[in-house]
Amino acid sequence: ARARQPPPRGLPWRPGANERGVRPRPRRPWARVGQRGKQRQRRSPQPFMSAPSTSAAGAAGEAHAGPDAASAGDGGELVLELLEEDEDDEACDREEAQDGWFAASQQQHELQSAGAGEAGTEAGAGPSAADEPAWKDYATVFTNDKAGMGDNMVHSKEHVQRVVYEMSQGSPHFENERRKERAADERASRMEAHVRAATEQALQAARRRADAALTALELTRRSDRAWALFDMDQFFFAVHAQKDPKLHEVPVAVGGIGMISTANYAARRYGVRSAMPGFIAKKLCPQLTFVRSDFAEYSRVSKLFGEALRPFDPEGTAYQAGLDECYVDLKAASAARDETPAETCAAARAAIKAATGITVSAGLAPSRQLAKVASDLNKPDGQYVLPSNRGAVVACAR
C-alpha cells in the first residue's frame, strides 16, 4: 500500500483521511456502495403513521443512530448507514440527513392533513359546513373587482367566487393560494398573540415609535407635483375592436383557454377579467369569444400613445409602466400652457384618443402611487383629480 503523507499544518490525523488530512464525507443516501466498498443499508420509505420496520437492518440502524433516529422514523425516508469506522463523525452526518428528510416529510404530512381537513369541510360534515361553505373563504386575483364590474353584473360576486373555487380545485395555483392563506392566518395569529401578551407599557412605547415614524414621514410630503397616470381603456381589446367594431356587441376576451390578457366590458359583466384562466371564464360566460393576441399591433399603438404625450412632458418626466400606462408630471406643462393640471390632463387625454382612437382614463395626484389609485376611480374615459392637501390624500388612501 502507498505510504500516506502526514497532514499539512499540523492537522490531526483522522481514519480514512486523504493526503491533506481531510476525511471525505460519505456518499449520498442513494449510493448503494460507500467508501472502501462498505455496504450501506437503506430502509425503504414507510407510510406516515406506519409501524417501524422490524428487520434486522432496521433494528441495528435504530440502535446505532440512537433515540433521535427512532423518533424520526415516522417522518419519511430514514437513511441508516452502518459504517465500522469513525462512528462519531458518521453520527453527525446521519443526524444532518435525518433532519432534512424529517423536515420534508413532516411538511408533506401537514399538507396532506390540511387537505384531508378541507375535503371533510367541503363534504359538508354537519350543519356548520353548510352554513360556512369553503368557497366563501377562498380569495384570489380572479375574484377581485375591476373596472366594468358594477351594479349591472349578470352574476353575483358570490356566484363568481364559487365558480372560481370549484374550477380551481386540484390545480397547483389552488394549492399555492391555500398555502398562502394558511401562512397568512398563522402570521395573524402570532401577531394577535404578541399583542395580547404585551403590557400596557410596551404598547405605549410602540405607539410613541409609530407616532415618531409618522412625523418623520410627514416632513417628506410633497405637494408641488402633479403626477398623472394615463391608462388606455381595455387596451388589448380596443386594438382589436378598431379592426372589427362588431366585437363591442359581444363578450370578448383576448387570450386563450389558458390565460386571458383582458376582457371587454360586456364580458366583465359576467365576472370575466384579466389574469383569469380561459376555462374559468368560459364557465362564467359560455358565449365568450376569444381573440388571439397580436403584440406587434399592441406595440405599434403603444408607440403612438407615447408620442402623443411628448408635448405634455417638457422636462422628460414620462415613465411608461407598460404598453397601455404612462406616468407624466404635468406641473411644467400646465404652467407653460397657463392651465390647471386638470385641464392639461384632459387635453392630453384628447390628444391620445386622436392619435390612437382609444379612450383613456387618468388619475391626477401629488405622487405616482396615488395617481395609480386615482386612475381607477373614474373609468372608463374619465379622470379623477386628487387634491394635494393632506386631508384629501389621507381620505383617499383609507
Taking only the tens place, the pLDDT of each residue in 218-263 is 898 888 899 999 999 999 999 999 999 999 999 999 999 888 999 9
Instruction: Please tell me which residue, 171 or 81, carries the higher pLDDT value.
Output: 171
From the list 323, 364, 316, 370, the residue with the least C-alpha distance to 340 is 364
pLDDT of residue 123: 40
What are the DSSP calls for 97-128, one per residue? Answer: HHHHHHHHHHHHHHHHHHHHHHHHHHHT-SHH
Task: Give the pLDDT confidence of 101-111 residue by residue, as tens digits.
Answer: 334 434 444 44
Rounding to the nearest 10 degrees, give the CA dihedral for residues 366, 218, 319, 228.
Answer: -10
- Average pLDDT along the chain: 75
pLDDT of residue 385: 96
Apex 288 CA angle, 285 and 291, nearest 5: 150
pLDDT of residue 157: 78
Instruction: Please tell me which residue, 256 or 134, carries the higher pLDDT value.
Output: 256
d(CA 126, CA 129): 6
Instruction: Please tell me which residue, 93 or 149, carries the higher pLDDT value.
Output: 149
Catalytic residue positions, numbered: 325
- Kindly state the percentage of the chain with pLDDT values over 70: 62
Edge-to-edge order in the sheet of strand 252-255 = 260-263, 252-255, 289-291
Q: What is the DSSP letter of 319?
A: E
Task: Give the pLDDT confidence of 293-347 residue by residue, as tens digits.
Answer: 999 999 999 999 999 999 999 999 999 999 999 999 999 999 999 999 999 999 9
Section 290-295 average pLDDT: 94
d(CA 306, CA 311): 10
Grid cell in block for residue 366: 401629488
Per-residue exposure over 191-219, b if at least 16 CB sit within 10 Å of its own CB, e if not: eeeeeeeeeeeeeeeeeeeeeeeeeeeee
- Kindly state the percentage of the chain with pLDDT values over 90: 43
Grid cell in block for residue 280: 374559468
Min mean pLDDT across 77-86, 159-168, 339-348 is at 77-86
pLDDT of residue 181: 86
Instruction: Please tell me which residue, 80 or 91, carries the higher pLDDT value.
Output: 91
Section 381-385 average pLDDT: 96
Bridge partner list, 289 = 252
CATH architecture of residue range(s) 227-243+293-397:
2-Layer Sandwich (3.30)
Phi first, then psi: give them for residue 228, nearest 5 degrees: -125, 135
Section 85-112 average pLDDT: 43
Residue 122, pLDDT above cutoff 70: no
pLDDT of residue 22: 52
d(CA 368, CA 110): 43
d(CA 330, CA 206): 40
Whole-angstrom Cα Rg for the chain = 32
